[in-house]
């Protein structure tokens, strides 16, 4: 092999490594969609759901890596259609069924399995079952269909974090899925062009080995990152940081409070969402505690700067839980509060208790008119102005 060929192979490995690890640093904890995507969903319309589905698939590196592995050695159009259709049917079934029935799956765990599916498809492409395990590889078509079911659960976890219309739920889900397929087709065309460019080259064998090896590395890296994230969520108390003792002291202090200033009841409708905000000055501190009547909700504790017109907001804490307790010392003046999303099929009642330096917009209408607090032109969540 010539020195020029060796140099080119090294270049392939280096380029693949940079591309993979470049997007992995952004994708490892990418659970959920951007604020702009949320706003588009809330504004409604099935065409918007299609658009969000397409853009979400095009940024879903784990799904795209799996598709790339599927088509790597397929040369006939009929074969490409057969295997991609099996994957499409698989993830469409669970995307529609899980979202329509509000089936919740921990997003870190499902993404960890998706990461392993990327490892699996690349291991199959490298003939790992025959070379290293000395066994016959499982039926590829059935495996792709089965792994597609898992990928659908991952897509459903993203979709269920957003407000969905109860009246047009099925059409919203189908529209989102159509967008997923359009995004997948777009990516597929680019992938086929890339592979075809190398297929006739004498370097294709080296290229395929490098690409599939890095798919295994990428999948393993993503798996470890997702499991690390799951451990932080499932066993948060076991992970200690420099700031954590102070945070624990604050929570202990809040938990001992019995003289709450306000007790507010918020009812979140089935598959609905609501937001409750407080007006808080810069440097002020308030304490809070909230819990539901049993069901877990997706929540986002965040703040919006006073006078901002860009739609910007800063999240302080988010997750899925039936309760939360804590305190906040604000770094900017503005509205601070909670967004709750109910993915269940029944209304959920929240009891919110607060104490500290703040104004309630639903009680202090006179002060609000005397010194109005400008709110962003476009907000991400529906707001509770009065209860």
The pair of three-digit structure tokens given for residue 360, joined into one six-digit string: 């309630």
**Separation CA 209–CA 245 (nearest Å):** 48
Give the model's pLDDT for residue 3: 54
Neighbours of 289 (CB within 10 A): 20
DSSP category for residue 243: T
Asked whether the beta carbons of 303 and 270 are under 8 A apart, the reply is no
Rounded to the nearest angstrom, the gap between the alpha carbon of residue 348 and the centroid of all alpha carbons in its chain is 23
- Helix (H) or strand (E) holding 248, with range, is helix 244-255
Nearest to 185 by CA among 26, 63, 10: 63
pLDDT digits (tens, 9 = 90+) for 215-239: 999 999 999 999 988 876 655 444 3
User: For residue 335, how many C-alpha atoms fall within 13 Å in the half-sphere facing its CB?
Assistant: 25
For residue 191, CA distances in Å to 67, 73, 132, 196, 296 come to 9, 12, 28, 8, 40
Instruction: Work out whether strand 297-305 and strand 314-321 pair parallel, antiparallel, or are unpaired.
Output: antiparallel
Asked whether the beta carbons of 116 and 60 are under 8 A apart, the reply is no
DSSP category for residue 236: G
Domains along the chain? Answer: 3-238 (no CATH), 244-370 (2.60.120.680)
Query: Angle 308-309-311 (CA atoms, 0-180°, nearest 5)?
Result: 95
pLDDT digits (tens, 9 = 90+) for 107-154: 889 999 999 999 999 999 999 999 999 999 999 999 999 999 999 999
pLDDT digits (tens, 9 = 90+) for 310-349: 778 888 988 888 999 999 999 999 999 999 988 887 899 9
The pair of three-digit structure tokens given for residue 257, joined into one six-digit string: 């409070």
**Separation CA 292–CA 322 (nearest Å):** 5
Give the model's pLDDT for residue 42: 57
Provide the 3-class DSSP secondary structure of residue 175.
helix
Give the model's pLDDT for residue 17: 47
Residues of the chain predicted below pLDDT 70:
1-45, 162-163, 232-258, 364-387
Nearest to 152 by CA among 101, 211, 82, 192: 101
Asked whether the beta carbons of 187 and 63 are under 8 A apart, the reply is no
Give the model's pLDDT for residue 94: 96
Provide the 3-class DSSP secondary structure of residue 165.
coil
Give the model's pLDDT for residue 197: 83
Query: Angle 82-151-339 (CA atoms, 0-180°, nearest 5)?
Result: 145
């Amino acid at each position: 092999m010539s020195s020029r060929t060796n140099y080119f192979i090294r270049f392939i490995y280096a380029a693949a490594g940079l591309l993979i690890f470049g997007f992995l640093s952004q994708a490892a904890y990418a659970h959920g969609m951007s604020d702009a995507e949320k706003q588009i969903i809330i504004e409604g319309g099935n065409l918007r759901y299609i658009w969000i589905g397409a853009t979400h698939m095009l940024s879903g590196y784990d799904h795209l890596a799996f598709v790339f592995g599927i088509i790597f050695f397929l040369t006939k159009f009929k074969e490409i259609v057969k295997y991609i259709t099996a994957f499409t049917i698989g993830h469409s079934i669970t995307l529609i069924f899980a979202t329509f029935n509000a089936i919740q799956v921990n997003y870190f765990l499902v993404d960890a399995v998706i990461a392993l599916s990327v490892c699996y498809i690349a291991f199959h492409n490298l003939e790992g079952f025959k070379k290293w395990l000395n066994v016959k590889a499982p039926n590829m078509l059935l495996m792709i269909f089965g792994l597609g079911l898992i990928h659908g659960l991952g897509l459903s976890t993203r979709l269920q974090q957003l407000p969905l219309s109860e009246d047009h739920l099925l059409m919203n889900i189908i529209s989102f899925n159509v967008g997923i397929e359009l995004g997948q087709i777009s990516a597929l065309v680019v992938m086929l062009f890339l592979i075809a460019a190398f297929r006739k080259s004498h370097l294709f064998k080296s290229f395929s080995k490098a690409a599939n090896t890095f798919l295994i590395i990428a999948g393993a890296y993503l798996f470890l990152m997702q499991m690390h994230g799951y451990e932080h969520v499932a066993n948060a108390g076991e992970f200690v940081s420099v700031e954590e003792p102070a945070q624990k002291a604050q929570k202990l202090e809040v938990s001992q409070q019995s003289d709450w200033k306000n007790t507010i009841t918020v009812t979140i409708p089935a598959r609905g969402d609501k937001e409750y905000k407080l007006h808080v000055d810069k440097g002020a501190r308030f304490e809070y505690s909230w819990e539901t009547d049993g069901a877990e909700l997706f929540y986002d504790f965040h703040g919006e700067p006073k006078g901002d017109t860009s739609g910007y907001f800063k999240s302080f804490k988010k997750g899925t839980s039936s309760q939360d307790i804590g305190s906040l010392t604000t770094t900017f003046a503005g509205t601070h509060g909670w967004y709750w999303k109910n993915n269940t099929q029944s209304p959920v009642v929240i009891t919110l208790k607060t104490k500290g330096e703040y104004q309630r917009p639903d009680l202090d209408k006179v002060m609000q008119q005397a010194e109005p607090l400008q709110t962003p032109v476009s907000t991400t969540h529906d707001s509770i102005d009065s209860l």
